[in-house]
């Protein structure tokens, strides 16, 4: 994949699709340690996300997926509704600049919200979904502070998922909600849960709290 | 110049899917006063995240309409209703809901709901609202429809204010007008996106023009059951459900009579 943002025709078409949007940003670790089964299961999981969302006509109009991989930090796809989003086939590339990836992601969401406002489209609280199997190889303290502030101001909901040997201690310092540990390589179950959660959130009306399905089948007990 | 009314609540497809009841409630009353008929409309949308919000919304519209009906029957005038009166009613509605909550051993928060109230007399009208959804009116001589209050959403479309929250009195919007309102509609947030343009903050006139047409043809004064039933059928139709999966409430009221000279006084 090249580094520039690929935008399909009509992927940003607020005129033909005035539905409120629910942006979901995937921050995906593609460092060398993800080589082998981990990356192939992750790829399978991402494809599942699109397939599952396709079963929900409204989610297809409302959910927008964005993908940032690290490292190096790369915007794989800007925010697009699932019908325009092509799940990438990721390969492992480098180290783990998690801090830079989080900062990049928060910037992207800020820009996206502005696009919604400019186009008179309303929106739901965005989701950031970080998936990593390691520990950051860059400075992550500023990112952690941004996440903490963002969660406090309800700018987004931040979820951190640790895979295999991930440094859960550092993830706990980054994610105020507390990180979750993926059971083995159950990426497929994780993305099925994400899909049904996004369906529920993007269909929710008044009320701040949305009851999400329990994260069963993919978290380590 | 008789008010003809159609009103209904339709369960959203997402509520059917997730085994939730319809959490919207609507109640419309037509009260005969010495100064002519007065229409009272109350719409309430129970919070999707609250366990007993369908009970909350039902209590809200029942209590609101009863209080206002009692006020009118005791000789109260619509033009004398001010913000304090509305706040007083709000407090009594909150009390009714917290009584229900404590009887059931639940927290008031589990009964969270919005409330949109209109009281319309011949020459005056009063409106108050907490939360999302909206009321729109067409005045004598107006071509189009205008909203009374823009829906109260926070930054996110699925956040709003509730009458059960501690800040309800502060966020309550109130407006009293001395104008002749000929047609009126109120709706919950389930159909907001079909009838309002968020970008331009305007009302989608064609929707209301089309929907009010059959109500104008209704022969009898008051709530028309047959029309309300066909309104329910429309709101649960494939066409509408393809665009919204939430509960939907809609009140349509008119005292416009086809063929009547437009400048005549309301009786």
> Which pLDDT belongs to residue B166?
92
Pairing of strands B146-147, B134-139: antiparallel
Residue (of A85, A121, A122, A125) closest to A109 by Cα position = A125
Instruction: Determine, for residues A57 and B247 on separate chains, whether the beta-carbon distance falls below 8 Å.
Output: no
> Which pLDDT belongs to residue B32?
96
Kindly report the CA angle at A96 between A92 and A97, in degrees rounded to 5? 125
Which residue is it, tokens 């009579």? B257
Instruction: Determine, for residues B199 and A19 on separate chains, whether the beta-carbon distance falls below 8 Å.
Output: no
pTM greater than 0.85 (yes/no): no
Instruction: Determine, for residues B193 and A211 on separate chains, whether the beta-carbon distance falls below 8 Å.
Output: no
In whole angstroms, what is the distance from residue B14 CA to residue A100 CA? 38
Instruction: Please name the member of B18, B160, B198 whose beta carbon is closest to the beta carbon of A120.
Output: B198
Instruction: Please name the member of B50, B242, B247 whose beta carbon is closest to the beta carbon of A207.
Output: B50
Is A203 an interface residue toward B (CB < 8 Å)? yes
From the CA of B159, how many Å to the nearest CA of chain A?
5
Candidates B156, B160, B197, partner chain A, best to mutate (most A CBs within 10 A): B156
Instruction: Determine, for residues B158 and A207 on separate chains, whether the beta-carbon distance falls below 8 Å.
Output: yes
Pairing of strands A127-132, A157-162: parallel
Q: What's the burial of B114, exposed, middle or buried (CB within 10 Å: 0-12/13-18/19+)? A: buried
pLDDT tens sequence across A62-88:
999 999 999 899 999 999 999 889 999
Q: What is the mean pLDDT of residues A123-150?
A: 93
In whole angstroms, what is the distance from residue A158 CA to residue A126 CA? 9
Residue (of A112, A99, A103) closest to A65 by Cα position = A112
In whole angstroms, what is the distance from residue A103 CA to residue A183 CA? 27
Do B11 and B247 meet the contact criterion of CB atoms below 8 Å apart?
A: yes
> Which pLDDT belongs to residue A4?
37
pLDDT tens sequence across A163-194:
988 999 999 999 999 998 888 888 888 888 88
Q: With a cut of 70, list the residues of chain B below it in pLDDT.
A: 1, 258-267
């Amino acid at each position: 994949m090249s580094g520039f943002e690929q935008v399909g025709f009509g992927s940003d078409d607020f005129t033909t699709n005035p539905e409120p949007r629910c942006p979901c940003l995937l921050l995906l670790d593609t460092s060398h340690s993800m080589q082998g089964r981990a990356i192939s299961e992750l790829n399978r999981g991402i494809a599942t996300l699109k397939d599952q969302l396709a079963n929900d006509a409204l989610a297809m109009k409302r959910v927008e997926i964005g993908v940032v991989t690290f490292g190096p930090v790369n915007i794989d796809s800007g925010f697009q509704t699932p019908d325009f989003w092509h799940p990438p086939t990721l390969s492992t590339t480098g180290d783990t600049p998690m801090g830079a990836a989080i900062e990049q992601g928060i910037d992207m969401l800020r820009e996206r919200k502005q696009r919604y406002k400019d186009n008179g489209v309303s929106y739901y609280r965005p989701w950031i979904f970080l998936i990593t199997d390691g520990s950051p190889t860059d400075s992550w303290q500023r990112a952690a502070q941004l996440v903490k502030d963002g969660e406090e101001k309800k700018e987004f909901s931040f979820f951190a998922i640790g895979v295999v040997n991930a440094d859960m201690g550092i993830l706990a310092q980054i994610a105020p909600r507390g990180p979750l540990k993926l059971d083995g390589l159950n990426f497929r179950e994780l993305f099925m849960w994400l899909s049904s959660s996004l369906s529920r959130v993007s269909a929710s009306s008044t009320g701040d709290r949305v009851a999400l399905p329990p994260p069963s089948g993919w978290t380590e007990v | 110049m008789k008010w003809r009314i159609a009103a209904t609540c339709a369960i959203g497809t997402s509520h059917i899917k997730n085994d939730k009841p319809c959490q919207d409630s609507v109640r419309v009353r037509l009260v005969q006063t010495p100064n002519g008929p007065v229409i009272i409309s109350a719409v309430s949308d129970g919070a999707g995240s609250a366990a007993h919000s369908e009970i909350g919304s039902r209590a809200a519209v029942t209590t609101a309409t009863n209080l206002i009906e009692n006020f009118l029957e005791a000789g109260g005038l619509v033009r004398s209703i001010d913000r304090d009166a509305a706040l007083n009613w709000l407090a009594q509605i909150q009390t009714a809901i917290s009584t229900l909550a404590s009887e059931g051993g639940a927290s008031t928060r589990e009964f969270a709901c919005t409330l949109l109230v209109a009281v319309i007399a011949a020459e005056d009208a009063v409106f108050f609202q907490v939360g999302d959804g909206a009321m729109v009116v067409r005045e004598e001589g107006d071509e189009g429809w205008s909203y009374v209050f823009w829906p109260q959403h926070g930054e996110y479309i699925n956040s709003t204010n509730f009458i059960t929250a501690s800040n309800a009195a502060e966020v309550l919007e109130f407006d009293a007008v001395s104008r002749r309102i000929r047609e009126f509609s109120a709706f919950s947030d389930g159909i907001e996106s079909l009838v309002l343009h968020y970008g331009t903050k305007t009302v989608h006139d064609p929707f209301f023009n089309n929907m009010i047409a059959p109500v104008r043809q209704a022969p009898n004064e008051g709530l028309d059951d047959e029309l309300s039933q066909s309104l329910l059928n429309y709101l649960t139709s494939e066409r509408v459900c393809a665009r919204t999966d939430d509960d939907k409430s809609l009140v349509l009221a008119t005292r416009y009579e086809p063929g009547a000279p437009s400048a005549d006084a309301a009786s």
